[in-house]
Structure 1
Amino acid sequence: MAPLSQALSPQLVDSGKNDGRSRYVYSGTVDPDWVVGSIPHGGYVLGLLVASTMKCQRQTKHKDPIHVTAHFMQPTAKSDYRVEIEVIRTGSRFSNLTANLVQEGETKVLTHMIFGTLPPFDALPSSNKHENIPPTHPLYKPIPLVSHPRSTFSEELQYKYGRFRKYVRRAEDHALRTRNKSKLTAPSGTHDGGLESGAWWEMMQDEGGIGLSMMPFFADIFENTPALLSEAHGDGTMFMWYPTMVMTLEFKRQLPPQDTPGVSNRTLGVYSKGSFLEHGRHDIYGEVWSSPGNIGEGDGRDAGDESWKRDMRCVAVTGQMALSVPLAINKSKGEKKAKL
C-alpha cells in the first residue's frame, strides 16, 4: 500500500540468454490500493511491465520507452506476479522487446514494446524540413483542455477507484462535458460527433514527481464512452466496469524535470475522445499533456492570459478498445481470484 512511484517496484529475480536473446524475469506483488472495484487498475498493471522493461534497458543505449502495445488476456489479481521479458532485436535507433505479466502460471497481459531515446521535454525542433510541427506553426495542435488548473477544484473520486483515491487528486474540465451536451441538440453537420472528456490529475504523495513508468496509469484514467453518453443524456453515473482489452501508448518526449518554470512535475492533463460504441464495445483516443501548475494553483500569468496553452506539450498519446460490463462481474472475478 504505497504511492504509485513506490507501488511500481518490480525486482529482478533472473536473467540470461536463450537462443542468443537476452531474457529477464522480474517479480513483485500487486499493490492492493491500485484497483478498480476488485480488479487491479489496467494502467497500473501496464506500469509494472513498463517499469520492468525500463530496468532491464537501463544499461543499454535505448533506455526510454517509445511505444507499447498491450493485450489484456485475463483479469489480473491482487497477488504475486512475474514479468517475463525477451529482447527480440536491437537496432541502431530502436530495440524491440516482449514483456508478459504472469500470475498463477497464467499469462494475463501480453505486450510488445519499442525502446529508444526520447527527446527532452523542451527539445528544439529538428533542422530537417517537415519533421516537426512546432508551437509557432499555424497547424500546431494546442492542448485540448479548456480550463487552466488554477480555475479548477479537486473533486471526490467515485468509490470504484478504491484506496488509490488518497494518492491522487482530480479536477474535471467541465467545458468539455458541456460541449458533449450541446452536440445533442446542435444541427446535423455542425460537429464531428463523439464524446470528449478532460481532467487535471495530480499525484499528491510522489515527491519525486511523475516518472515514465507511471504514464500508463495516466493513459488509462479517462471517462469511458458509455459513461459520457449516459451523462450527456442526463441519466447520471453508470455503475459499470470498463475492462480494457487492447491498449497502445506512444511516448512523445521526456517528462519535465523538477523545477521547470511554468510546468508542474506532479500534475498532467488527460484528454480523451470516444467515437464509436457498439453493444458496449468502444474505442477511446487519448492524449496526456504537461500542466502549467497543480490543481487550484496559478503559474504567474494573469487569469485572462491564454498563452499557457501554447507552452504545454503532449507527452503521450494512447488508444484503446474496451468493453462495458456490470460492476458485479468485476466484484465476482476479484473475489474468485482472491480465493485461489
Structure 2
Amino acid sequence: MAPLVKAISVGYDGPLNADTKIYRGDVDPEWTVGHVPNGGYILALVIEACVQHQAHTAHRDPIHVTSHFLHAASIAPFQVRVRTLKRGRAFTNLIADLVQQDRTRITTHMIFGSLAPEVPPLGLSPPSPYARRLPLHVHPATAVETPMVRPWRFKPHVNWARDPVLRAQNHRTRATLAGGGGLVWGAWFQLAGAEERLTPASLAFLADVFINLPALLPRSARGGLVPSDTWFPTMTLALEFKAPIPRRGAGHAARTVGLYSRGTFWGAPQGRHDAYVEIWTAPAELGQGQGAEVPGWRDAQVCLATATQMALSLPMEVNAKL
C-alpha cells in the first residue's frame, strides 16, 4: 500500500485539445471505504492535477473547490481533464473532471490564487476575542489514541485520538435552547508513515475522515441504523483553503492535524445529512513532544481549511456491489 503522499499520484499526459489538458494516474486500491475509494481521496487526485496545472502561474494555490460526485469511482486508471474557465488578475477559475471508462465520476469547479499572507495582515486571529480558535481540548502529545471502527482499508496507515470533551458534549441535551440540536466530533488525525507530509491535495482526504452525524447518535435515536453496516457516500463536497501549510520545522506537525466536525440535519431521502469540518495545524505529532504545559499552544494553531458536504446513509451492501 502506498502512503497517501504517493497514492495521490498524477502525471501530465498532454493536451486533449486547445482548451483541455489531461492528467493520468491509477486509483490506489487501499484508500477505500469498503470497496469504494474514499470520496476525499478521489477529490485529492483532482486537486493534485490542478495544482500541477497551475504550478508555473501566478495563481498556484487552491482557494476554493466545489465538487459533485456523479458516480462512484473504481479502483482503476483515471484521467483528470482540466480546463481554464477564466484567468483574472487575482484568481483563476478551473473546471476539472475525473473520468474512468469514459464516464465522468466527479466534476469540480476550482478557484486558484495566492495564499501568501498580506502585509499588513488583514483578518481575525488571536488575541482578538472574535477570532476562531482551535476547538480541540487535549494536546496531541498527551492525547490517548483510540481505535477506528469504520470500514476503512487505510486504517493501518493512519492514527487518531478522539477528543473526549467534545464527545461528552453530545450527551448533554440541548432541546431547551433556541436553535438547539446537532452533534459535534473532533480528533487529532495522523498520517502514520514517516515519509508522509501534508499537501494541499491531502487536505481533501482529511476533510472526509470524520464520524458522520448518524453514527454519533445514541442507539435510541438512530431509527434502527447500525453504523458498522452503513455506508455514508459523499454527494457534494466544498473545500475552502484558509492558510498555507506551514513549512517543516516551523513549530507545527508535518503529518498530524486537528479535525473538528459538526452535523445538524439527518433525514429523507436516503438518510441525507450535512457535515461541516475544520482542519487545523497541530503543535506536535500524535503522542510526541511536549504537552499542554507549553503556554499558548492552542492560540498558535492555524485553520488550514474548512469543508461542507452533503452525504447519504446507505446499507454497506450497496457499497459491496459497486
- Tell me: CA distance 1:314–1:159, structure 2 relative to 1, closer, same or farther (3 Å): closer
Indicate if the aligned counterparts of 1:180 and 1:195 stay in contact, CA closer than 8 A: yes
Indicate if the aligned counterparts of 1:180 and 1:196 stay in contact, CA closer than 8 A: yes
Letter in 1 for 2:316: L
Alignment match, 1:294: 285
1-side partners of 2:16 and 2:57: how far apart? 15
Alignment match, 1:104: 101
Mapped pair 1:329 → 2:312 = no
Q: TM-score, normalised by structure 1?
A: 0.88
Deviating more after overlay: 147-156 vs 186-195: 186-195
Superposed displacement of residue 322, structure 1: 0.4
- Tell me: CA distance 1:16–1:159, structure 2 relative to 1, closer, same or farther (3 Å): closer
Indicate if the aligned counterparts of 1:248 and 1:319 stay in contact, CA closer than 8 A: yes
Query: What pairs with 1:65-80 in structure 2 (closer than 5 Å)?
Result: 65-80=62-77
Alignment match, 2:262: 273
Mapped pair 1:172 → 2:162 = yes
Query: Which of 191, 200, 210 is residue 203 of structure 1 equivalent to?
Result: 191
Computed over aligned residues only, the root mean square deviation of the Cα atoms, in angstroms, reads 2.0
1-side partners of 2:12 and 2:295: how far apart? 47
Indicate if the aligned counterparts of 2:140 and 2:291 stay in contact, CA closer than 8 A: no
2-side partners of 1:13 and 1:298: how far apart? 43
Indicate if the aligned counterparts of 2:150 and 2:228 stay in contact, CA closer than 8 A: no
Alignment match, 2:36: 39
SS, match of residue 151 in structure 2: helix
Indicate if the aligned counterparts of 2:16 and 2:22 stay in contact, CA closer than 8 A: no
Higher helix share: 1
2-side partners of 1:327 and 1:17: how far apart? 40
Indicate if the aligned counterparts of 2:138 and 2:292 stay in contact, CA closer than 8 A: no
Alignment match, 2:177: 189
Superposed displacement of residue 16, structure 1: 6.2
Indicate if the aligned counterparts of 1:102 and 1:108 stay in contact, CA closer than 8 A: yes
Query: What pairs with 1:45-194 in structure 2 (closer than 5 Å)?
Result: 45-119=42-116, 123=117, 127=120, 131-158=122-149, 160-162=151-153, 164-183=154-173, 188-189=176-177, 192-194=180-182
Deviation track 1:226-245 (CA, whole Å, cap 9, x = no partner) reads 00114686998442100000
1-side partners of 2:88 and 2:175: how far apart? 52
SS, match of residue 321 in structure 1: strand
Deviation track 1:215-234 (CA, whole Å, cap 9, x = no partner) reads 10011111101001146869
Segments of 5+ residues of structure 1 without an aligned counterpart are: 334-340
Alignment match, 1:336: none
Alignment match, 1:9: 9
Superposed displacement of residue 190, structure 1: 7.4
Superposed displacement of residue 36, structure 1: 0.3
Query: Which of 242, 250, 253 is residue 260 of structure 1 equivalent to?
Result: 250
Letter in 2 for 1:188: T
Indicate if the aligned counterparts of 1:230 and 1:238 stay in contact, CA closer than 8 A: no
Q: TM-score, normalised by structure 2?
A: 0.93
Letter in 2 for 1:26: Y
Letter in 2 for 1:177: R
Deviation track 1:204-224 (CA, whole Å, cap 9, x = no partner) reads 215252111111001111110
2-side partners of 1:300 and 1:196: how far apart? 24
SS, match of residue 201 in structure 2: helix
Deviating more after overlay: 232-241 vs 50-59: 232-241
